[in-house]
């Protein structure tokens, strides 16, 4: 039986199987898209808590030597030089928990 009332969870909500949310989902201040994107879309943010689906865009790659990038290689952003570099392996670089390198 469905009940049409608002309720507040004060100590946490645990779902053991699955949950279906019809409408807009806002979790930890992030507003999730209500529609699916197309193949190969990524989740993007506008910096104000609104998430959307779209294509990944990388700008200013004119200084990257794409000829040296091997199949399966990596584009790595070097924050010191503020440029993208081609990398074909992770020699002496580790990936930390947020996906960045240190």
In the prediction, which pLDDT does 50 show?
95
In the prediction, which pLDDT does 32 show?
94
Asked if residue 63 lies in contact with residue 83, where contact means CB atoms within 8 angstroms, the answer is: yes
In the prediction, which pLDDT does 83 show?
75
In the prediction, which pLDDT does 93 show?
54
Question: Please, what are the averages of pLDDT over each run of 10 residues along the chain (102 residues)?
Answer: 81 89 90 90 91 81 72 77 73 55 51
In the prediction, which pLDDT does 94 show?
56
Q: Is 27 exposed, middle or buried (0-12, 13-18, 19+ CB in 10 A)?
A: exposed
């Amino acid at each position: 039986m469905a009940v049409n009332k608002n309720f507040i969870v004060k100590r946490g909500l645990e779902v053991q199987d699955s949950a279906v949310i019809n409408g807009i989902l806002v979790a930890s201040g992030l507003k999730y898209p209500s529609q699916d994107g197309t193949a190969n879309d990524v989740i993007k943010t506008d910096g104000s808590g609104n998430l959307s689906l779209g294509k990944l865009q990388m700008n200013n790659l004119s200084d990257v030597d794409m000829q040296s990038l091997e199949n399966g290689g990596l584009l790595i952003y070097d924050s010191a030089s503020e440029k993208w570099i081609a990398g074909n392996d992770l020699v002496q670089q580790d990936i930390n928990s947020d996906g960045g390198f240190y």
